[in-house]
Every structure is written in structure tokens, then in C-alpha cells.
Amino acid sequence: MPIKTVATDQAPGAIGPYVQGKIVGDFLFASGQIPLDPVTGEIVGETITEQTQQVMKNVGAILVAAGTDFDHVVKTTCFLSDMSNFVPFNEAYAQAFQVEFPARSAVEVARLPKDVLIEVEVMAYLGK
């Protein structure tokens, strides 16, 4: 089964030894996205709402590069730096999904890259 690397300049480039995503068969496995501006590489937003909106824009760009969209996301893993941000995170996160929500895990972690408030990774089904 061929494996294809997903890369787009519409989402931040990798800041480590990884790629934005991999397509394996009918599935996209996207690396976790943090709230970086894809052009400047700077953190976007100070609040969990602002940062989540940017993260979901970055995720959306990777989905488009893979030929899909949020309607085909089957699983997300969400890493929050502070679980007290869970309610406003949920509100911003939910706006990305139009049809139905994917399966999800959400956990609090001690620290995220660049000390951001949120990171989200997704898996999407690409099959027809």
C-alpha cells in the first residue's frame, strides 16, 4: 500500500522531524496542529478561543491538501494545557464541523510546543 506525504503552505510547516500528514490507503493521519500563522510562524491569539480557531484553520488546510474536509474526520485528539479551558475550547472546536462530530479524546497535558494552549490532531477517511 503506497504512503503519500501531505504538505501545504496553507498550514504551518513542521517545526521538528515530522510532516504535516500521511495518507495511508483511505486514511489521512495528520500531525498535531498548534495555533501558528502559516506565513509568519508566529502564535496566533492569546485566548483558548482564538488559538483554537487558528488550530482548526490549520487542520482545515491540511484536510484540503489531502483532498477532504472536516465532514470526513473520524477521530481527533485534543491536547489542552489547562482543562479549565474546556468549555470555550469546545465552542470554538465545534464550529469547524458542519455534519456531525468525530470521535474524540481530550486531555490536559503539562506543556505544549511553544507554550500554546491547544494542539489538535486528526484522522480522516478519504474513501468514497
pLDDT band at 25 (very low <50, low <70, confident <90, very high): very high
pLDDT at 22 over 90: yes
- Per domain, the residue ranges of the chain are 4-125
Give the per-residue pLDDT at 56. 98
> Higher-confidence residue: 98 or 29?
29
Which pairing describes strands 73-80 and 21-24: parallel, antiparallel, or unpaired? unpaired
Give the per-residue pLDDT at 127. 84
Best CA proximity match to 107, nearest among 123, 83, 76, 73: 83
Averaged pLDDT score across all residues of the chain: 96
> Higher-confidence residue: 15 or 64?
64
4-125 has which fold?
60s Ribosomal Protein L30; Chain: A; (3.30.1330)
Decide: helix, strand or coil at residue 76. Answer: strand
C-alpha 43/C-alpha 76 separation (Å) is: 21
Q: Cβ of 90: how many Cβ atoms within 10 Å?
A: 15
Side by side, the strands of the sheet bearing 118-125 are: 3-6, 21-24, 27-30, 118-125, 73-80, 103-108
pLDDT at 52 over 80: yes
pLDDT at 128 over 70: no
